[in-house]
């Protein structure tokens, strides 16, 4: 059966739109940020021939748990600004080889490029999140301005960071009841930061990289984007008020009322 044009694929359109929105919000300067979307085999085969591997790119780590799975991933060094108008050069679609060592490229990275340097953190985080929630499909890394600023002036303790963000607007504990995990500054683009991020992803869908940015996970691009957007908004409220005398706050008792009303299983050890 003839394949449809990849440019008609809803997942590609949504992916491009997401990168574009992230760019417009000022989260992804230059080549900052990267996105990976786990694709269903059926949806990909409507557009691409699974036997036509353009090239194989070594992963540099073991991704056997994801063998045979298809991913749409931004390219390294590529600008989010350019994704929407030129996806073929800025993003790629690949399958993880049976031995978990290679990315089998089926489309994209057309100028000879390759997947993001943060692929270890993405794929290892996919593995962690799929174990918690088999419906997870998105890992998103970005450099939101206020969140980044907050990591310079706030304690990097996971519980303290989460508590502050929960207090910054009423919806926070409902949108991220699992809180945010925080990693200290580490060298990016390595397997080590990938392992550390994936470990944190077992207990939360949001992981802060101090003095660098944020990782968010979700079932859909919208869900991951909404999560990051909410964390960034809370960070913005914090940064707007951090130097001022605070005269009102959302109390722990009120946070509990919210969690109970919205029936969310919030992270323990913070407000109780
Ligand atoms: P890439 O250009 O390799 O995706 O890296 C961007 C980035 O945000 C590094 O953390
Ligand atoms: Zn980054």
Q: What is the pLDDT of residues 94-140, one digit of tens each?
A: 999 999 999 999 999 999 999 999 999 999 999 999 999 999 999 99
Mean pLDDT of 28-45: 97
pLDDT at 167 over 90: yes
Residue nearest to atom 10 of ligand 1 (CA): 188
- Locate the ligand 1 atom nearest the alpha carbon of residue 141 and give its number: 8
CA distance 119 to 182: 19
Q: Strand runs (DSSP E) across the chain, as ranges?
A: 34-39, 55-58, 70-74, 91-96, 102-108, 138-142, 180-183, 206-209, 213-218
Q: What is the pLDDT of residues 186-238, one digit of tens each?
A: 999 999 999 999 999 999 999 999 999 999 999 999 999 999 999 999 999 99
CATH number for the domain whose boundaries are 1-116: 3.40.225.10
CA distance 17 to 23: 10
Is any atom of ligand 1 closer than 6 Å to the C-beta of 116? Answer: yes
pLDDT of 1 reads 74
Contact 237, 221 (CB under 8 A): no
Strand partners, 55: 105
Is any atom of ligand 1 closer than 6 Å to the C-beta of 164? Answer: no
Is any atom of ligand 1 closer than 6 Å to the C-beta of 190? Answer: no
Is any atom of ligand 1 closer than 6 Å to the C-beta of 76? Answer: yes
| Residue 31 Cα to ligand 1 middle (Å) | 6
CATH 3.40.225.10 domain span(s) along the chain: 1-116, 118-272
118-272, what's its fold? L-fuculose-1-phosphate Aldolase (3.40.225)
Mean pLDDT of 48-55: 97
pLDDT of 265 reads 97
| Residue 83 Cα to ligand 2 middle (Å) | 16
- Locate the ligand 1 atom nearest the alpha carbon of residue 212 and give its number: 10
Mean pLDDT of 44-71: 97
């Amino acid at each position: 059966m003839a394949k449809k044009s990849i440019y008609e694929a809803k997942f590609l359109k949504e992916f491009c739109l997401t990168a574009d929105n992230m760019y417009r919000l000022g989260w992804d300067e230059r080549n900052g940020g990267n996105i990976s979307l786990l694709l269903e085999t059926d949806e990909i085969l409507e557009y691409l021939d699974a036997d036509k591997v353009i090239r194989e790119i070594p992963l540099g780590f073991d991704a056997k748990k994801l063998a045979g799975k298809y991913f749409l991933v931004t390219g390294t060094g590529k600008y989010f600004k350019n994704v929407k108008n030129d996806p073929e050069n800025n993003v790629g679609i690949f399958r993880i080889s049976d031995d978990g060592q290679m990315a089998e490229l089926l489309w994209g990275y057309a100028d000879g490029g390759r997947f993001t340097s943060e692929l270890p953190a993405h794929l290892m985080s996919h593995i962690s999140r799929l174990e918690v929630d088999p419906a997870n499909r998105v890992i998103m890394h970005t450099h939101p301005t206020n969140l980044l600023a907050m990591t310079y002036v706030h304690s990097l303790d996971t519980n303290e960071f989460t508590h502050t963000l929960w207090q910054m607007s009423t919806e926070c504990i409902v949108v991220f009841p699992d809180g945010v995990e925080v990693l200290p500054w580490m060298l990016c683009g390595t397997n080590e930061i990938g392992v550390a991020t994936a470990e944190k992803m077992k207990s939360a869908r949001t992981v802060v990289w101090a003095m660098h940015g944020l990782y968010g996970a979700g079932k859909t691009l919208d869900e991951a984007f909404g999560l990051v957007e909410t964390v960034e908004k809370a960070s913005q409220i914090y940064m707007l008020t951090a130097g001022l005398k605070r005269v009102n706050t959302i109390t722990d008792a009120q946070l509990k009322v919210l969690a109970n009303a919205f029936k969310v299983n919030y992270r323990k050890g913070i407000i109780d």
